[in-house]
Amino acid sequence: MIKTVENLFEDIREALSYNKPFVATNKNKIDFDPKISQIYITLFQEAQRPIRWGSKKNTFEESINRVIFKLRTNPNFLNFNLLDKTKCRILFEIVTKEYPCNIRNLTTMKMNSPNRFEPGVNGLKWKYKNILHYFMPTDAYTKSIMSVNQLLNFLSKQCDIAKRTNKISERVHLMRREDIEYTFVDSKAYVSYENQVLELQRGYPLPVEFNKEIVYDKTIKSINWLVENMNDNGSFLYFYDPYKNTIVDDMHPNMLDPLYNNILRHSGGTITLLRGYELTGEKSYLEKAKDSIDFFISTFKEEKIDGKYSCFPFFNKKSKLGGAGIGLVSLMHYYLNSKSDKYNKYMEGLVRHILSRIDEEGEMIGYYIHPKYNDGKPIINPNDETKKELFSFYYPGEALLGLALYYRHMKNVDEKLQEEIKEKSEKALDFLVDIRPIKYDYLFEPLPADAWLMQAIEEWVKVDGLKKQAYIDFVFNDTKQMFNHMYTEYNTLKTNKDYIGGFFYQFGDHVYHDASRCEGVVSAYYLAKYLQDEEKVSWIMEHMLLSAEGLMKTFHDEKSNYCHINPKKALYSFRFKLTRQWVRVDSVQHAACFFARLLKVLK
C-alpha cells in the first residue's frame, strides 16, 4: 500500500509542478468510492499560508485533476516550490467512511457514544444553505482544535454564523441549533517528508518510535529549545502558538502585558537546564541556568523575620508560596551542580520566608501577597476562610521539595534553622497527608495532581525520623490512583490507541498526556527503589513506560511540524495535547525533566 501512495505523491507533485494531467493507474490508485470519497490536497511551506482544495467527482482521476486545477489557479500557488521536496510538503486525505451525527449531542467525553467527536480521527461533512463543507479529520491537528466548542466556533467562521456574535458560546449554540445537516467522516491521510511519504494518525506522522536513544535525543533537543527561546533578561519564552504563529497567550487575554509570564514555570525552566547539565556535563546549560536564576532574583523583595534576612519573589502583583518553593528548588539544583556559594544568601532568605508561611496547624498559606486580599499588602495570620480561598494543591509540595533539598544538601546551616526546617516541614507534611483530605475533601479530584509533594516526600523519607509510613503510603496511593485513571490497551477504542499511557478524570475524557504527573510517577519509582520494593518498582516501570511512549506523540519534530507557518519556532518542543498545537514553557519543562530522570533507569 505504501508504495502505491508513494507513486501517488510522485504523480501529484509532477502534475502540480508541470501542469500535466494526473493519470490514475494500478500503481498510484487507492480505494475510491464516488459516493463518499472526498479528496483534499494541501500544500504546506515555511512562511506561507497553506493552500488546499477538495473535490469528489465520478472517478479517482477526475477528483484529483479537479483539485490540481484549483490549486494551480490559486493566487498564491507560485509561492510554493513544488520541485523541492524539502520545502513544499503535500498532505493527501481521502474520506473513507460516513456515518450519522447528532450535533446536539456531540461530545468528547463519552467513550462509547455514537456522537463522540474524536479530534483528529473524526471529521464532519456539513451542509448549510445548500453549501457543502468538510471539516476533515486532520484539520483538528493542522488547525489546533481539541474540543467541541473549539470545533463549532471554527466552523461558524466558515459561514455567516460567526458574523452574528463575537461570543464563542453563542456561536456554538447556533451551530448546534441552526438548520445544518451534519455527518461524521473518517479518512486516510498521508504527508510527504523529503523523499518519504508518511501515514498520519490523528494528524501526526507514523511511526512514533521509542527507545532509550530516541528518548535521550528528544530530551536534549527539548532542553535546547528552552535555551534557544530564552530572552535577553534570562526569562523564557512563555507561550507559542504554531497555528497562529504568535507568542501572545490565549489563556491570559485580559492581561495588561500580552506577553504573559509565570515565575513558577520560569523556575521550572531553570531546573530543566540543570537536568540537561546533569545528563551531558555541558557547561553552557549551567551558564544559562545562572542567567535564568538572575532573572528570578530580580523579582525579589526583601524583609526581616525575627531580625534575620528573608526574601520572596513578587511577580504579576503576587507573591506565591509556589514561586518561592520552585525557586528554591532551582537554586538548590544550581548549588549542587555548580558547587557555587553565590546564591546562599537568597536560599536562606527563601527558606525563612517559606517557614514563616507554615501556621501552627501545619497548613502552608498559598499566597503572601495577592492584590485581592488585604489591599495587596502581606497576608499575615489569615483567618480560616481566607486560608481556604488561598489554598493551592501544588504550592505546598513545591515549597516542601525546596526545603527538603536545602535541609539535606546545604552545608554549614545554622543549627537552629536546621531544626526549624525539619520541625515545621514535618508538621506541614502531617497536615497535607492527614488533615488536608478532611479539611479540603471537596477540592480533591479523582485524578491526583500532587506530583511536587510526591517528589518532596521522596526526599524527606531519607531524613532520620521522617520515614513515616503515612508519607510513603501517600506517594504509592496517589500513584495507584493515577494508574487506575490511565488509558491502557484494555480500555481504549481502536480509534484512540494513542490514548495509551495518558490519564483521565472521568473515563471517556479526552486524554491527558501529562508530563507533570509523570514527574510524580518517576519519583514514586525512585522511592520504591530506595525502599527496595522490587514489586512496586516493576509495577511502576510498566505503567511509566506507557506514559513515556504516549508523551512522545506530543513532540514537535521535523516530520510532524508540517502545518506550522514557522516550522523552526516550535521544533523540538512538546505541545499541549495530541491535536492542540500550543507550546508553553512548562509543557516542555515537565516532559524534559520526566525523561531526564527516566533515562537514568531506562534500559
Mind listing the pLDDT tens digit for each residue in 496-546? 999 999 999 999 999 999 999 999 999 999 999 999 999 999 999 999 999
**For residue 251, pLDDT beyond 90:** no
For residues 328 and 321, is the Cβ–Cβ distance under 8 A? no
CA distance 136 to 38: 10
**For residue 259, pLDDT beyond 90:** no
- The pLDDT value recorded for residue 553 is 97
Take residue 56 and report the three cell numbers written for it.
Answer: 469528489
**For residue 255, pLDDT beyond 70:** no
For the chain, give the mean pLDDT.
96
pLDDT band at 1 (very low <50, low <70, confident <90, very high): confident
> pLDDT tens digits, residue range 32-81?
999 999 999 999 999 999 999 999 999 999 999 999 999 999 999 999 99
Q: At what angle do helices 415-430 and 395-409 cross, to 10 degrees?
A: 150
Contacts of 101 (CB under 8 A, 6+ apart): 115, 124, 182, 183, 184
Alpha-carbon Rg for the chain in angstroms: 27
CA distance 53 to 72: 10
Q: Quote the percentage of the chain above a pLDDT of 70.
A: 99
Q: Average the pLDDT over 221-246 and give the result.
A: 97
Q: Counting every residue, how long is the chain?
A: 603
Q: Average the pLDDT over 578-598 and give the result.
A: 97
**For residue 325, pLDDT beyond 80:** yes
- The pLDDT value recorded for residue 304 is 97
For residues 53 and 41, is the Cβ–Cβ distance under 8 A? yes
Q: Average the pLDDT over 102-129 and give the result.
A: 95
> pLDDT tens digits, residue range 486-501?
999 999 988 899 999 9
**For residue 254, pLDDT beyond 80:** no
> pLDDT tens digits, residue range 568-577?
999 999 999 9
> pLDDT tens digits, residue range 82-92?
999 999 999 99
**For residue 171, pLDDT beyond 80:** yes
- The pLDDT value recorded for residue 520 is 98
**For residue 172, pLDDT beyond 70:** yes
Q: Quote the percentage of the chain above a pLDDT of 90.
A: 96
161-175, 250-264, 422-436, 497-511: least confidently modelled range? 250-264
> pLDDT tens digits, residue range 455-491?
999 999 999 999 999 999 999 999 999 999 999 999 9
114-123, 201-210, 254-263, 376-385: least confidently modelled range? 254-263
Contacts of 537 (CB under 8 A, 6+ apart): 525, 528, 529
Nearest alpha carbon to residue 260 among 209, 318, 195, 215: 318
- The pLDDT value recorded for residue 494 is 84
Where are the domains positioned within the chain?
2-205
Amino acid identity of residue 126, one-letter, is W
What are the distances in angstroms from CA 142 to CA 281, 297, 459, 562?
38, 39, 43, 9
b/e burial code for range 103-139 (CB count within 10 A of at least 16 → b):
beebebbebeeebbbbbbbbbbbbebeeeeebbbbbb
Q: Average the pLDDT over 362-387 and give the result.
A: 96
Take residue 603 and report the three cell numbers written for it.
Answer: 534500559
Run of H or E residues at 438: helix 436-439
**For residue 27, pLDDT beyond 90:** yes
**For residue 562, pLDDT beyond 70:** yes
Amino acid identity of residue 54, one-letter, is G
Beta carbons within 10 angstroms of residue 335's beta carbon: 21
